Structure 1
């Protein structure tokens, strides 16, 4: 009997996790506002969750060079279960803040989590250099479609209303579902073969690629700081506040937004073969940032949604290419650490801006978070092109 390839288990686990992140990112601001908290407090919760994710990810980066990746993934799944249960039963703001800091709740509905560096390291060792970018495109495609479906599932609390379940109870039920998804994900991680991370000499986190990784991490931090102004929960909050969008309408919008992002991943893989990984990252990202800034200035809801959908079709094309590039320019023994060290500063930087965006929303400067995000992302793209256009991955040399 043919053995199931380990990537299948990782793809399936990613799908379950992103499905949960998809509906949580939309429901989180609705839930917190329903509990009586302010937009600023919503931003603080988003900041705490991203900060906690960063701290956990850097810890995993150190452990990944010395321990079995499967065991670390199982521990992450256990934390996801605990997070879902806690959000379903806790109403106190201080306790929710602690759970957001220590748990896996994700306001961005994207690949910002403790699972990412471990999955990247396991996936990369299973494919050749020429197949690496295509594999990451498929991995991102699965996650994006799952996230889009999760966004659509955020309408479930409203659909349960005729059955006598009020919206708040329905949202709590969705957090229980999030915990169950963590349980299913853990069962998939348990199927990954036991294989300790490779260690060359002393188990150092980073070695010969340290300077490359630090430069990439600094640039990725700028990108993430910009993105933190419009994490999905805050973008949903902007749409609710600016255009009085309903929860059902938001669910449909975020489904199509996620679907467009998903379709862009295989296009990014194909485009990168023609123009290179760095060029693909930069020349798709800049137009998406312009579209975001135009959405911020749009006078009507339909116009804003069109610009946001254009942004969705372009903004995530750097995800598989960025992951592939980082894995390509470091040694095999450094991959888990490199994925962690480029993810952690992203999470730390992204954890600062949501609270700033919440403050801007509270002060009625609704368009500013989107405009700041777009301008900073364009700056990031130009700096990335200047710094790394000459450092080619092996398949482009």
Structure 2
């Protein structure tokens, strides 16, 4: 996320410096998100079979590939090719194969009692990384321009070498992960998963574990002896069949819940895709023409406040619930997006950006905890992978629309539309899910502890009621005597 932070500040500005049109900038981000969809689907689809650590390691070197290409080339189509097949954050967010796998790992390693806190710190540390990256990016630009008189485009190229280096760092960190990060056969170390009646196995992402043996995925009619499926005549048909098989591994009750959530997340992602942080920085640069270091400072402060607020997401979720936390912290952020074009001064615009970014991350950890709470443990990687894919796919439509609007001097419409979409997502989320029961598939120690605490509390309340009743009866008897 440090690398993504340096990227989010300069990406649109880099293309503008290369004299690419606003339409091409939007098109680039749209097609890059399309590459993220493909990578997210493909890599998350095979993550539990091939190994989560291997996929994260491969994703790290895709970062290296993309960063090195951006550091050397200036041709639009070469840069687009590197962004589509590699890992470049077009929106400043954590898209691609990383987030879904990381959230699945953390959900596996935690219990319902600790999960929201752990995921909150996950969002916090990643946001701090983005903040430091944006601040460093702005300062490096200022230093190189002032001290060495570099051209601005050469300064941007140098920042992509930092992106490349962080890909290597990420690969080294992945090597330090232990086997506990991989899918556990029954996850007995984390929770006792109730089996469906009449079934002695647990279905996995793209396959299943039958009597402790990993079986290959496929349609019910496929050979289930573990042999690889026959190659299909069309790659597109094969990928579509894999996605269908992947979705089929998710139980019907889970799909019933997730279809509604996926629809709402698609609306929210369209909004985020219309006004991602790189395009927001580009909008402020075009409207107010601040120094690049000032933009870096503003972006860093926004990310940092987002990191600070994320710390409170876990405790707040315990206090008022996951859905209430997601909705009530997201509404002010959405309202800030809606009125973002109104101020005529930079400092008022910066305040709105800080409100947007400062509260925007508080729904991320509760959202991941909510998904983990309503799906079976063995379905989490698939569900989170599909969720990430659909969010990225929906976000694809945004940058091109914004590019067209910006080219016609109507950039402001993108913020108004995005704010309206976000508010619709907030209201829909509250109406559909506020009363949903959670942790129905988890019987682990944390869930048992929570049930025990509730039982003990109810017992104590009952004892107090009995004691109060006895006191009243005793007092009434004395009075009558």
Contact 1:229/1:353 (CA < 8 Å) preserved in 2?
Answer: yes
Contact 2:36/2:84 (CA < 8 Å) preserved in 1?
Answer: yes
Instruction: Give CA deviations for 1:89-116 in whole Å, capped at 9, x if unaligned.
Output: 1211111121221121112222223101
Give the deviation of 1:61 after TM superposition: 2.6
Q: Does 1:261 align with 2:244?
A: no
Q: Does 1:363 align with 2:349?
A: no
In 2: Cα distance, 1:182 partner to 1:72 partner: 14
Q: Which residue of 2 aligns with 1:4?
A: none
Give the deviation of 1:215 after TM superposition: 2.5
The partner residue of 1:194 within 176, 179, 189 is: 179
Q: Which residue of 2 aligns with 1:335?
A: 380
Give the deviation of 1:219 after TM superposition: 1.4
Local SS of the residue matching 1:321? helix
Q: Which residue of 2 aligns with 1:390?
A: 435
Instruction: Give CA deviations for 1:173-196 in whole Å, capped at 9, x if unaligned.
Output: 111110110101011111112354
Q: Which residue of 2 aligns with 1:226?
A: 271
In 2: Cα distance, 1:163 partner to 1:24 partner: 22
Instruction: Give CA deviations for 1:137-190 in whole Å, capped at 9, x if unaligned.
Output: 100000111101111122212311222432222211111110110101011111
In 1: Cα distance, 2:357 partner to 2:296 partner: 15
Instruction: Give CA deviations for 1:263-301 in whole Å, capped at 9, x if unaligned.
Output: 111211111111100111111111211122222211211
The partner residue of 1:272 within 308, 312, 317 is: 317
Flag as ranges the 4+ runs of structure 1 deviating above 4 A.
none
Give the deviation of 1:198 after TM superposition: 4.2
Contact 1:152/1:251 (CA < 8 Å) preserved in 2?
Answer: yes
Q: Which residue of 1 aligns with 2:167?
A: 182
Give the deviation of 1:376 after TM superposition: 0.4
Q: Which residue of 1 aligns with 2:390?
A: 345
Q: Does 1:57 align with 2:40?
A: yes
Question: Which structure has more RCO (C-alpha within 8 Å, separation ≥ 6)?
Answer: 1
Local SS of the residue matching 1:316? helix
Give the deviation of 1:257 after TM superposition: 0.3
Instruction: Give CA deviations for 1:223-271 in whole Å, capped at 9, x if unaligned.
Output: 1001111101110111011111221110000000001100111211111
For residues 1-397 of structure 1, what are the structure 2 equivalents within 5 Å?
A: 18-155=1-138, 156-161=140-145, 162-194=147-179, 196-198=182-184, 200-201=202-203, 202-203=207-208, 205=246, 206-208=249-251, 209-394=254-439
Gaps of 5+ in 2: 186-201, 209-216, 218-245, 440-446, 452-481
Local SS of the residue matching 1:375? helix
In 2: Cα distance, 1:219 partner to 1:63 partner: 26
Gaps of 5+ in 1: 1-17
Local SS of the residue matching 1:367? helix
Larger gyration radius, structure 1 or structure 2: 2
